Chain A
Amino acid sequence: MVWKIFLFLLMAGVIIAAFIFPAPQQQIGDASRIFYFHVPQAWVGVVAFVVSLIASIRYLRKGKIIDDDRARVAAGLGLLFTILATVSGSIYAKATWGAYWNWDPRQTSILMLLLIYGAYFALRSAIEVETKRARLSAVYAIFAFITVPFLVFIIPRMMLSLHPSDTVISSSGSPLGTSYAAAIFFSSLIAFTGLFFWINNLALRICIVERRMLEESDQ
């Protein structure tokens, strides 16, 4: 309970601070405030997909149905946060690059993530037998995840990217250079990660309760 209140206060604080303090990158202006939300959303998306991947591998090794629930719940949340990151990224792209969609390598790779997990849920809905569904979707999730390095590391080197991920980490105009911006950013990162694990935990508990109710009605 305590940490839920803490999370609420932290999230509210991050939202207020993101708008009160000066924009993190002066040359871009107010549009750069989206940095406080877009990066944590994309980060949570990746964390969720990794959680889903680990659960899928565990399912194939151990065969416990709870791991399939874990994989499905995390993949659903990953999809949600990836959509949020795509939308916030597009708004930033419109403000700085001039169009919502430019086929920047980063946009290509996030679109592929959306397609993979869209296909993952399409596959799940097409199989009725539970164990078969769990097995096949776990195989697909692992197989699809293997292609991600190609899009994240290889394709961006073949094409020019305007995505400011390099400037954030290295250059002198980095928004993380100023202390208040770094504080807001890392608070936001913690808040979003906490939010993900909270929702994930809730959804998983609902899954377990539903499964138990189903068992009781069978008896």
Chain B
Amino acid sequence: MPKSSIGLMAKALAVWRKDIRCEFRTRYAVNAIMLFGVTTLVVVSFAVGQKNLLPEVYSALFWIIIFFSAMSGLAHIFVREEESKTATVLRLTSDTTPIYLGKLGYNVVLLALLQIVIAPLFLLLTDATLYDPALFIVIVILGSIGLAGATTLIAAIISRASVKGALFAVLSFPILLPLLIGVINATTKALSASGGGFSGSSSELQLLVSYAVVMITASLLLFEFVWEEE
């Protein structure tokens, strides 16, 4: 079948499905990200679980757990292609944009699984009180999309470098800083009684939406230069 006869989304979906299938044969990234998240959460809970802390502290701790768990697993999507030498085949069989979209979708799913496990456990194991569950869920969803959107391109970059481990967090942190400031501020409002709900954190929500849109658009434009072999 010629390349152009199926739509962009169908191709992206095919890449995504292939990645999900590969992942559930080994479960490497899921295991790494989940175990990292749960371990960090247990340490945090052990240290501050019985203490009644400020919402600012809880929201910072929560996003530190999410950030470092994400750093332990999100790069795997591209590193695996290079390590198993399948990147060239993927380059030959698919256009570049669907590959980015498929991998982005995979990372969003991975982060969603992480959040489904970590967010409820965090609220159970610490004394944090959730005053606005709907706002919290929206923040978590937007934050995860932004996190995946910004780090997928970085994952593609580091998969082609010779030192892969520590570089991912080093390259991602400065880019994620605006997102982290936004989600931590917004989560603080969802965890405090006087947060003001959706209208109280509208500027943070606008920041999260615009950040995700800008980073995904930029990634789509730049991905070609990272992915294509010269």
Contacts and interface: CB of A to CB of B under 8 A. Distances in A.
Given A116-B174, A126-B167, A127-B160, A150 B207 contact: yes
B163 to A, nearest CB: 4
B24 interface: no
Interface in A77-118: 108, 112, 115-116, 118
B175 A151 contact: no
Contacts of B204: 158
A121 to B, nearest CB: 10
Interface stretch (A9-17, A130-138, A180-188): A130-138
Contacts of A123: 157-158, 161, 167, 171
B175 A116 contact: yes
Interface in A21-64: 60, 63
A131 B230 CA distance: 8
Contacts of A119: 170-171, 173-174
A154 to B, nearest CB: 6
Contact of B226 (A63, A136, A150): A136
B225 A135 contact: yes
Contacts of A138: 225
A108 to B, nearest CB: 8
Contact of B215 (A140, A146, A158): A146
Interface residues of A, number: 31
Nearest to B166: A122
Contacts of A144: 174-175
B170 A136 contact: no
A136 B215 contact: no
A128 interface: yes
B151 to A, nearest CB: 11
A139 interface: yes
A143 interface: yes
Given A139-B226, A143-B153, A151-B178, A126 B163 contact: yes
A67 B219 CA distance: 22
A138 B157 CA distance: 11
B222 interface: yes
A115 B174 contact: yes
